A and B are shown apart, each in its own frame.
Chain A
Amino acid sequence: MLDVSSLNAGYGSFQALFDININVNAGEAVAVIGPNGAGKTTLMRAISGLIPVNDGKIHMEGTDVIRTPSHDIVKLGIAHVPEHRRLFPRMSVEDNLRMGAFSPQFRANFQNRLNFVYSLFPKMQERRNQYAGTMSGGEQQMCAIGRALMSDPKILLMDEPSAGLAPVIVQQVFELIKKIKNEGLTVLIVEQNVKQVLKVVDRAYIIEAGSLKMEGTSAELLNSKEVQKAYLGM
């Protein structure tokens, strides 16, 4: 579904990603893991068109999206849950969700999607009139995921969904991701919490210092000596 090949990207003269190749098939959950500053967020931002790509290809279902402006990417079925959630804090939960379905092509389906998100996260329905900024971190993450789901995406990009959350809440967030995966949605997730994320996804890529180091199924990576030593503290 999503193919990234020979991708080089960065900020200005600083190159953050070197020759990255990853692909995600329909129905799969794939993780990109690696230490802080490895370029994981840059990869997500490049796919969503938030930063220009120097070189390489990004194909979504065969369409080249490298020159597509970010506000048109979502229309191709790519929804992005950004790092730190980035909700609109002084807007109600429901208005935040409404923004997720802003494009005219999604508006007609707004009520259906809203019902879907509320059935997935009943808590969001309880809180629908509350300001998003006043909720707890875990609830905000629910809202951010719900907002991305409003456009009925084919693939969900999740950037560090567990970052900055208390351990108990992290557990809940991974439960959410499992739930979304079970809905049949394709997911590409960037995480530092390697142990947890490998329990949820099918495959993973490891990037370090902007380059691809390793890839494999979750089982392979969990059993790899190298991964155990570097990421699982064993």
Chain B
Amino acid sequence: MAEFTESLFSIFFIETLMNGLLLGGILALLSIGLNLIFGVIDVVWICYAEIIMVGMYLIFYLNNDLGFHIIPSMIAGILFSGLVGWLTHKIVISRLIDAAPINQLIATGGLLFFFQGAAMIVFGIEFRNMGMSLGSLALSEDIYLSWTRLLSFAISGVIVVGLYFFLSKSYLGAAIRAISQDKEIMSLMGVDTKKLYLLTSAIGGALAGLAACLLVLQYDVHPFIGLSFGPITFIICVMGGLGNMVGGFVAAFIFSELITIGGYFAEIEWGYVLAFVFFIVMMFIRPEGLFARKS
């Protein structure tokens, strides 16, 4: 017991908590786009993480193979992912907008395999690494925080705050909130719902592209990378209450702390086990999500 208590006050535990916080920033960013799309269009993009994967490949290809500077490569990645989001809605979802949810799920699930297959054909199955490191920030002799993670955290924060102001203060943002509450009435307000859906999908895609910029600095790119954070993104959204941005944001931090704390006491894999067990238990206790509105 004494050993356990000691470990709680250890400097490494503090580092773990901080790393959890930083990981939470990335997970929050991942969940925002999916939540936005679900909240507005009421469709779950099972293939959301695969759009991130596409963005990662594009950034990698432009930077590594074609020799462009990393910044323009990232901007291109964001724009291209936005285009992929737009096309996903235009080509697939818009045709299924009134279909049963299961049909929409199957269609976006099919897109997941399409993106994976396309990536395999174009880039092969090798793991590719940017070979880029931003180094670490030494807070003290014992605490090191990765600059990439700090940067991701900061960018996530800026995006969350920016999105909050966009949704609460602008006409377009108000329309996005309104359309999620009553779609049909929006056309009586003079809103072209088809256009608003396309815009939302493009924003959602661009947010995936932004996540790709941050992930490509930390992880190898391969056709199945989406599977390593797709499920957790989805679970965070469900736990926060699908479509509830604030809920998703908080859930991201709960998850990331569970993962890193589990990793601190055992191995990182146990951290994931802990987080998913927590999710399953929560689904029994609060199936509508942690922060579901009482309706």
Contacts and interface: CB of A to CB of B under 8 A. Distances in A.
Interface of A: 48-50, 69-75, 79-80, 82, 86, 88-91, 95-96, 98-100, 102-103, 106-107, 147, 151
Instruction: Indicate the member of A73, A79, A98, A99 with the most B CB atoms within 10 Å.
Output: A99
B274 interface: no
A94 to B, nearest CB: 10
Contacts of B193: 71
Interface in B157-196: 171, 174-175, 177-178, 181-182, 184-193
A102 B181 contact: no
B95 interface: no
Given A82-B185, A102-B171, A91 B178 contact: yes
B187 A102 contact: no
Contacts of B191: 71, 99, 102
B192 A102 contact: no
A125 to B, nearest CB: 19
Contacts of A151: 190
User: Nearest 4 CB-CB pairs, A to B?
Assistant: A103-B190, A70-B187, A74-B190, A71-B187
Interface residues of B, number: 18
Contacts of A71: 186-193
Given A71-B188, A102-B190, 5 more contacts: A71-B191, A89-B181, A90-B293, A95-B174, A99-B174
Instruction: Indicate the member of A71, A75, A86, A107 with the most B CB atoms within 10 Å.
Output: A71
A11 B75 CA distance: 47
Contact of A70 (B171, B178, B188): B188
Given A98-B171, A102-B171, A80 B188 contact: yes
B190 A88 contact: no
Contact of A99 (B178, B184, B192): B178
Interface of B: 171, 174-175, 177-178, 181-182, 184-193, 293
A91 B189 contact: no
A72 B181 contact: no
B196 to A, nearest CB: 10
A74 B189 contact: yes
A70 B188 CA distance: 6
A131 to B, nearest CB: 11
Nearest to A105: B190
A107 B181 contact: no
A86 B190 contact: no
A50 B178 CA distance: 18
Nearest to B172: A102
Contact of B174 (A72, A75, A89, A91): A91
Nearest to B178: A88
Nearest to B177: A91
A224 to B, nearest CB: 34
Contacts of B174: 91, 95, 98-99
Nearest to B184: A50
A73 B184 CA distance: 14
A71 B197 CA distance: 14
B185 A102 contact: no
A119 to B, nearest CB: 22
Nearest to A106: B190
Contacts of A89: 181
A102 B193 CA distance: 12
Contacts of B182: 86, 88
24 contacts: A49-B187, A50-B184, A69-B187, A70-B188, A71-B186, A71-B188, A73-B188, A74-B189, A82-B188, A86-B184, A88-B178, A88-B185, A89-B181, A90-B177, A91-B174, A91-B177, A98-B171, A99-B175, A99-B178, A102-B175, A102-B189, A102-B191, A106-B190, A147-B189
